[in-house]
Amino acid sequence: MNNPKSMVTEEADVARNIKDLPEKAVDYIKSGLASVDKALDLSKPAQNIKSIISQQIHGSERSTSTVPLECGKVRHYELYVTDGYINISSGTWPQADDSTSIPGWSKPIYIWGFTDIDPNISGNRVKVPSGSVAPTGNTVGNAKFPGPFLEAVTEEYVYITVHNSGLFQKLQKIQEDFSLHLHGIQAQAPYDGFPETSGGYGEKLRYFWMEDWYLEKGSTTKERDDWWNALDGKEQQEILRAKPPLIRPNQLNQNGKIYSLKNTKNHPKGIGKRLPYGTSEDWSQFTYYFRPNRPGTFAYLCNASAPEHVQMGLCGALIVRPNDGSRSVYGLNTNTDYDKEYTFILSEFDSRWHSLIEGDAAFAKHSPANWSPDLWFINGRTFPETVNPFAWNNAQGGIDAEPRYNTYVKAKPNQKS
């Protein structure tokens, strides 16, 4: 219960000092949108009404991680958002045998997508294929379609660090902002990837995946994450307790999205905001956190502009397994035991949309209202490649394929799949 005396004192303080406050701060106090303590911060030009609502919902910035790293199994994934090309028949570009191309679809398709191989390292990017609108000979990102296959177990502490690496294809003048939405996962609002409820959110996390001991465990983020995720909870906790923590900002921009690392200047038409000065690495990445409380098959996708971004290829699978050790979908005694497992992501493209975005025309010439799909995929592949024994579903060039997106279903009598 509030103390009437303290309330009177606070009101007196406001009345005495209100003449010294900026007009915007006064409005916040009078409207009840902010306390006296927060009014000055929230009235700064860089803030907006969305930040106020966000801070009311999520609380103010914290000095340490809100996640209890000192107990339980911790899982980490590193994802990069970038662009790339796929071949329609195989879901890859380039492919080993051009004879498998579908008649009429010899042209590569430009995509945006997630990858677990850092495209900012030039050797990880691929050459723009012949037949594309973009100038050949240049490089493009190494986006995977679908995105990397992610797994977790109920009650684990799961971190997914998303880097907005930007679009490398030379015709892309506008660098988009992105987010990560964990569809069906019960995550706190800041980590749900829904921009309208997470704008301006910020806190400080322990970036254990960027500490020296972690960086020594592999030459790529994927190698290091694979090593870490293979450890049991006890091994992880012993390491975390023994090592000095690296605490860094974890923040979304005012629109609840992640700035592109390539936004070194404002776009002339006001689309694509410039990275805040001196904070490019902080602002071009965000770590999403959740603790799954139920097993099942889920999807992750970009929800910053879902009608455009999901259509461009920004989606992937997330499997949450029960923590009872059973080979079942939903746990012991649920009659969901299985012998073989397959995960399918069904999707469709409007090739006109991809062609226009490839040439940087985007919505200017093709309205989503006129969307008409003409390509259909299972795990990024079209028939007849869907019945081949193995799914090479991502760009080649030394990048590993993802066998868990296999589309070739094979089972023996009485086996459960």
Say if residues 362 and 371 touch (Cβ distance below 8 Å). no
User: pLDDT tens digits, the chain, 417 residues: what are they?
Assistant: 444 444 434 444 444 445 555 555 555 555 554 555 555 554 444 344 444 444 443 444 443 444 446 568 999 999 999 999 887 754 444 444 434 444 446 678 889 999 998 998 888 888 888 778 777 778 889 899 899 999 999 999 999 999 999 898 888 877 888 889 998 888 888 888 888 777 778 888 899 999 999 999 999 999 999 999 999 999 999 999 999 999 888 888 878 888 888 877 766 555 566 777 667 777 889 999 999 999 999 999 998 887 788 889 999 999 999 998 888 888 888 888 888 888 999 999 988 888 888 887 655 566 777 788 888 888 888 877 777 665 444 444 333 456 788 888 888 898 887
DSSP strand E in 94-251: where? Answer: 109-115, 126-127, 139-140, 147-153, 157-164, 181-183, 202-206, 247-251
Residue 94 counted as domain residue: yes
Residue 351 counted as domain residue: yes
Looking at the structure, do residues 199 and 319 belong to the same domain, yes or no? yes
Residue 50 counted as domain residue: no
Count of structural domains within the chain: 2
- Spatial separation of the C-alpha atoms in residues 343 and 339, rounded to whole Å: 14
Residue 415 counted as domain residue: no
pLDDT of residue 39: 53
Looking at the structure, do residues 86 and 30 belong to the same domain, yes or no? no
pLDDT of residue 35: 56
Beta bridge partners of 378: 346, 381
Residue 414 counted as domain residue: no
Residue 315 counted as domain residue: yes
- Spatial separation of the C-alpha atoms in residues 407 and 104, rounded to whole Å: 23
Identity of residue 313: G
- Spatial separation of the C-alpha atoms in residues 145 and 90, rounded to whole Å: 11
Residue 219 counted as domain residue: yes
Measured CA angle at 339 (ends 410, 315), to 5 deg: 70
**What is the full DSSP assignment across 179-204?**
--EEET----GGGS--GGGTTT-EEE
Helices marked H in 1-99: 4-17, 23-31, 36-42, 49-58
Looking at the structure, do residues 41 and 82 belong to the same domain, yes or no? no
Residue with tokens 């303590």: 37
Say if residues 109 and 115 touch (Cβ distance below 8 Å). no
- Spatial separation of the C-alpha atoms in residues 368 and 375, rounded to whole Å: 16
Beta bridge partners of 376: 348
Looking at the structure, do residues 34 and 80 belong to the same domain, yes or no? no
Looking at the structure, do residues 26 and 86 belong to the same domain, yes or no? no
Looking at the structure, do residues 268 and 314 belong to the same domain, yes or no? yes
Looking at the structure, do residues 10 and 144 belong to the same domain, yes or no? no
Question: Which CATH number goes with the domain that contains 102?
Answer: 2.60.40.420
Looking at the structure, do residues 230 and 368 belong to the same domain, yes or no? yes
Looking at the structure, do residues 20 and 90 belong to the same domain, yes or no? no
pLDDT of residue 98: 39
Residue 199 counted as domain residue: yes
pLDDT of residue 128: 85
Looking at the structure, do residues 233 and 345 belong to the same domain, yes or no? yes
DSSP strand E in 224-370: where? Answer: 247-251, 285-290, 296-301, 315-321, 346-349
Beta bridge partners of 288: 160
Looking at the structure, do residues 257 and 314 belong to the same domain, yes or no? yes
Looking at the structure, do residues 25 and 83 belong to the same domain, yes or no? no
Domain span at residue 11 reads 4-45
